[in-house]
Amino acid sequence: MFHSDQGCQYTSTRFLAELRARGTIQSMSRRGNCWDNAVVERFFRSLKNEWIGDQLYVDHRHAEQDITDYLVDFYNHRRLHSAAKGLRQTYRFGVQGQ
């Protein structure tokens, strides 16, 4: 599944054909409703500002590994989350030490 807003790049014939060729289902937020994607937009802002910055990756494999490191290690185990009252996600959900 590929979820996006209704931007022209996501509704173009070429993009839709690429999704179909890959067997990917398309999902879109409602028109004019910025709150549909608020949580994921905030996550990507954190990813870009806290981790990627101006970094240029050598190839897709390096980018994938680095972003996986962010998700698995930093975001879930070390980053403090305001929604969790300043705790790490692992403490918030009671899975510390795992």
28-62 tens-digit pLDDT? 888 877 787 787 788 888 888 888 878 899 999 99
- For 85: left if phi > 0, alpha if psi spans -120 to 50, otherwise beta; the answer is left
Report how far residue 41's alpha carbon sits from residue 38's, in angstroms, rounded to the nearest whole number.
5
Determine the pLDDT at residue 95.
52
- For 26: left if phi > 0, alpha if psi spans -120 to 50, otherwise beta; the answer is beta
The structure's pTM equals 0.51
Is residue 9 within a helix (H) or strand (E), and if so which, with residue range? Answer: helix 8-11
